[in-house]
Amino acid sequence: MRISQINQTWLMGGAAAIVLVGGGVYALTRSAPAAVTEAHAEEAQASAGHAGQEGEAHVALTEAQIEAAGIVIVGVTSGGGGETRLSGRIEPMVDARAAVAASVGGRVERVLVAPGESIRAGQALAVLVSGDAAGLRAEADAAQANAVAAEQAHGREESLAEQGVVAQRDAEVAHAQALSAQASARAARARAAAAGSPTTSGRLSVRSPIDGIVTSVLVGPGGFAAQGGVVAEVTNPARVEIVFSAPPTLAAQVQAGTPIRVQGPAGEVEAIVTGVAAGAGVATGATVIRARPTGGGLPPAGSAVTGAVVTGKSSGGLSVPSEAVQTVEGQSVVFVRTDDGFRSVPVLVGRQAAGRTEVVSGLTGSERVAGANAFLLKAELAKGEAEHGH
């Protein structure tokens, strides 16, 4: 009887355990699908978020990354127009050439430079000995002596006038004579300085007024340099400009400050117009346009170049550097700077001229956009889309 009761107790406990285990399994099998469903919902929500960012075509970059990539941020400017091509040459600036002449005639005692030599402003090119120069120095010395004597006489007359020995009028006359003598001395010194500040023996140096390179020497030791005769020629090769010959009608369309692209033997440089002279080409009546480079060097003087300048600008139009316009999925876009990177903005483009592209619509004009190296943003955008696709 006792054994039967014990077996019954064990059977009841086993049944209870089976019920508990079965209930646990049932609970697990019921909760697992719910958990999976929630996980799928979160993943779908995240995917929707990624799709939204992709739709905005946003590229996140820090300031340091932008600088490291060499991406140049530029403003949107007014523009649009056609492009006119011009032919020109590299020429020395007006103040970059000097034909150094003798201010007085004299014998050439020494020549101090040779063609091809680099010199500084004020450096002596030749030494002359001139009788005329000696006379100018003597006049300056005599005039200075007269001025000193007149000043001393004025001092004595002032002292006598204060003592009542002479009339005050005599002191005033002496003062006027002293002033006149001083003026004569200044004029004589100026004439001597213009002649080259000769010594008392009439020896003087002919000096270069500019930095540069001696291109020619036209006198030799023992020769005679006439007054006004050229002793040597000096050119500064660093001071050159671009001179274009343009049609007369272009004078009204180009002005100082207009950018111009210059193509030379060594490549392309950016330049800016410094002057426009209508009808300056005497033989042809052509307009002469002068420009200077804003970046990079120019080829040597005498080199032939071509230029491209924007003319016929449209009013109210906008333009960006041509390299700022990229093609993404067949659509022209520019990358507009944001607080944390760039976003691509579809634009409708118009004409291209002088390295700039007209933007017909899509921008307001107040944006800052990626110019140079904007193609890196296009590549980064494509890379992000590829990673998201995987």
**210 and 281 within one domain:** no
Instruction: State the average pLDDT for the chain.
Output: 81
Q: Is the pLDDT of residue 38 over 80?
A: no
Domain final residue, candidates 310, 335, 364: 310
β-partners of residue 213 are: 118, 235
Angle between the N-to-C axes of helices 375-389 and 2-56, in degrees from 0 to 180, rounded to the nearest 10: 160
**288 and 220 within one domain:** no
Share in percent of the chain as helix, strand, coil (round to 5): 40, 35, 30
**193 and 114 within one domain:** yes
**139 and 224 within one domain:** yes
- Which range, of 74-83, 98-107, 270-279, averages the lowest pLDDT? 74-83
Note whether residue 187 is domain-resident: yes
**112 and 228 within one domain:** yes
Average pLDDT over residues 75-98: 81
**Token digits of residue 36:** 């999976």
The per-residue pLDDT for 48 is 33
Phi/psi region, residue 274 (left: phi>0; alpha: psi -120 to 50; beta: rest), is: alpha
Per this entry, what is the length of the chain? 390
> What DSSP state is assigned to residue 223?
-
The per-residue pLDDT for 125 is 97
**CATH number of the CATH domain containing 174:** 2.40.50.100
Q: Is the pLDDT of residue 15 over 50?
A: no
Q: Are 309 and 83 in contact (CB under 8 A)?
A: yes
Phi/psi region, residue 381 (left: phi>0; alpha: psi -120 to 50; beta: rest), is: alpha
Note whether residue 304 is domain-resident: yes
Note whether residue 36 is domain-resident: no
pTM over cut 0.75: no
**CATH number of the CATH domain containing 326:** 2.40.420.20
- Which range, of 11-25, 87-101, 337-351, averages the lowest pLDDT? 11-25
Question: In total, how many domains does the chain have?
Answer: 3
Note whether residue 51 is domain-resident: no
**210 and 146 within one domain:** yes
Domain final residue, candidates 310, 335, 354: 310
Q: Is 214 exposed, middle or buried (0-12, 13-18, 19+ CB in 10 A)?
A: buried
Give percent above pLDDT 90 in the chain: 44
Note whether residue 282 is domain-resident: yes
The per-residue pLDDT for 139 is 96
Note whether residue 153 is domain-resident: yes
The per-residue pLDDT for 124 is 96
The per-residue pLDDT for 196 is 93
**280 and 205 within one domain:** no
- DSSP assignment of 148-184 equals HHHHHHHHHHHHHHHHTSS-HHHHHHHHHHHHHHHHH
Average pLDDT over residues 152-158: 94
Note whether residue 2 is domain-resident: no
The per-residue pLDDT for 354 is 63
Tens digit of each residue's pLDDT (9 = 90 or more) over 220-273: 999 999 999 999 999 998 888 999 988 887 877 788 888 888 888 877 888 889
**203 and 324 within one domain:** no
Average pLDDT over residues 39-65: 55
**CATH number of the CATH domain containing 278:** 2.40.30.170
Q: Is the pLDDT of residue 157 over 70?
A: yes
Note whether residue 7 is domain-resident: no
**378 and 257 within one domain:** no
Quote the domain boundaries for residue 181.
99-235
**133 and 202 within one domain:** yes
Q: Is the pLDDT of residue 384 over 70?
A: no
Q: Is the pLDDT of residue 98 over 70?
A: yes
CB crowding 97-127: b at 16 or more within 10 Å, else e:
bbebebbbbbebeebbbeeebebeeebbbbb
Domain final residue, candidates 266, 283, 310: 310
**246 and 231 within one domain:** no
Residue 142: in which H helix or E strand, if any?
Answer: helix 131-163
**276 and 180 within one domain:** no
The per-residue pLDDT for 253 is 79
